[in-house]
Amino acid sequence: MNTIDTRTLPPDAEGIAAAAKVLARGGLVGFPTETVYGLGGDARNGRAVAQIFAAKGRPSFNPLIVHVPDIDAARRFAQFDDMALQLAAAFWPGALTLVLPLAMGHGLSPLVTADLGTVAIRVPAHPLAQQILRRFGGPVAAPSANLSGRISPTTAVHVLADLSGVIDAVVDGGGCPVGLESTIIGGIPPALLRPGGIAVEQIEAIIGPLAKRVDTITAPGQLASHYAPDASVRLNANRAHPGEVLLGFGPMESDLNLSVSGDLVEAAAHLFDHLHRLNALGQPIAAAPIPNTGLGRAINDRLTRAAAPR
C-alpha cells in the first residue's frame, strides 16, 4: 500500500467536520470511542470497507461493527426484538454491541457483515464519536484501530504507531475512558459473544441469564493469539522471573500496575496502554492474577489471548 500523509485532527468542530469529510469521500479515519479507538469507514461503501481490512491486515472473514448515533439509526440496519430493545434502552449509548438480523434494504456493504445475514451494531457514547457520526450522517464500520493481531489502541498515539501512512486521519480525543472493547451479545436466545466494557452481570440483570454460546460464527477475535504483543506473556505471576517485566494488579511491586487499589474498572482502562508500554521494553511480560469477576473476566480474556502460543 502506498504511504499517505496521515493527518492528526483536533477534537473540535473543525476536526469533526474534517473527519466527516474523510468518511464521505470513502476515506478512513481513526476516532475515539469510550471503549477503544475505532478505524472508521463508510459501512455502505465496499471500497472503504475493503480498505479497512487492508489497513489492518485483518482476515476478511471477520465481520465489523457498524456504529450509529442512536437507536433510530440502528433500526434502519438491524431488526430489533424485545430483548434487543431492552438492552438498547439500558446501555445505549455505551459499550454494548448487539448482533442482530439485518433489516430489509439496509444498504450495508456485504463485506461489513462477512455476508452473515446478521450485523453487529453499536451506539458509542463518546461525545466525539457521537458528533462525527451525526455530522457524517451514515453508518460507520469501525474495528479497533490497530493492525490485526496487535494490542487495541486507547490513544491517538497508539493508532498512529500502527496505522500512520495507511489511513487518512485520526481525531485526537485523548485516552479512552473504558479502555476495553464493547461487550458483544447476539443469537437467539442471546449469548455472550465477547466479554467487554459492560459486565455480564449488568446485562443479565436486564434480560436474565445469557445462553451458552452454540453458534459457530467466527466472532470476537476468536483467533487465540488475537491480542498478542511481540513479547511472550506469562499469566498468574506474583513476581517477575529474571529478565521479565511485571504487569501488576493490587498492592505489589511491579513495573506497571493496572490498579494499585485493585479496582477492576481502573485496571480495564489501563490494560492496553500498559501492555503497549511493557511491550515496548522488549522483554517477556509476566502478568499478575486478576479476579475473574465483573470486568476482570474481559481483562482475563484479553490477557489469555495475549499469552496464547503462536
Beta carbons of 223 and 309 less than 8 angstroms apart: no
Whether omega before 93 lies within 30 degrees of 0, making that bond cis, reads: yes
Taking CB under 6 A as the rule, does residue 154 contact ligand TXA? no
Taking CB under 6 A as the rule, does residue 259 contact ligand TXA? no
Query: What is the spatial distance between Cα 62 and Cα 101, in angstroms, rounded to a whole number?
Result: 17
Of 62-70, 157-165, 229-237, 253-261, the window that binds ligand TXA (rule: CB under 6 A) is 62-70
Taking CB under 5 A as the rule, does residue 35 contact Mg ion? no
Of 68-76, 180-188, 203-211, 247-255, the window that binds ligand TXA (rule: CB under 6 A) is 180-188
Applying CB under 6 A, among 18, 123, 142, 151 the residue interacting with ligand TXA is 142
Taking CB under 6 A as the rule, does residue 143 contact ligand TXA? yes
Backbone angles phi, psi at 35, to 5 degrees: -90, -70
Taking CB under 5 A as the rule, does residue 144 contact Mg ion? yes
Taking CB under 5 A as the rule, does residue 259 contact Mg ion? no
Burial class (CB in 10 A: 0-12, 13-18, 19+), 209: exposed
Query: What is the spatial distance between Cα 258 and Cα 273, in angstroms, rounded to a whole number?
Result: 10
Task: Tell me, by CB under 6 A, how many residues bind ligand TXA.
Answer: 29
Of 23-31, 41-49, 136-144, 268-276, the window that binds Mg ion (rule: CB under 5 A) is 136-144
Query: What is the spatial distance between Cα 64 and Cα 43, in angstroms, rounded to a whole number?
Result: 9
Nearer to Mg ion, 162 or 172 (CB): 162
Nearer to Mg ion, 228 or 267 (CB): 228
Q: Contact residues for Mg ion (CB under 5 A)?
A: 144
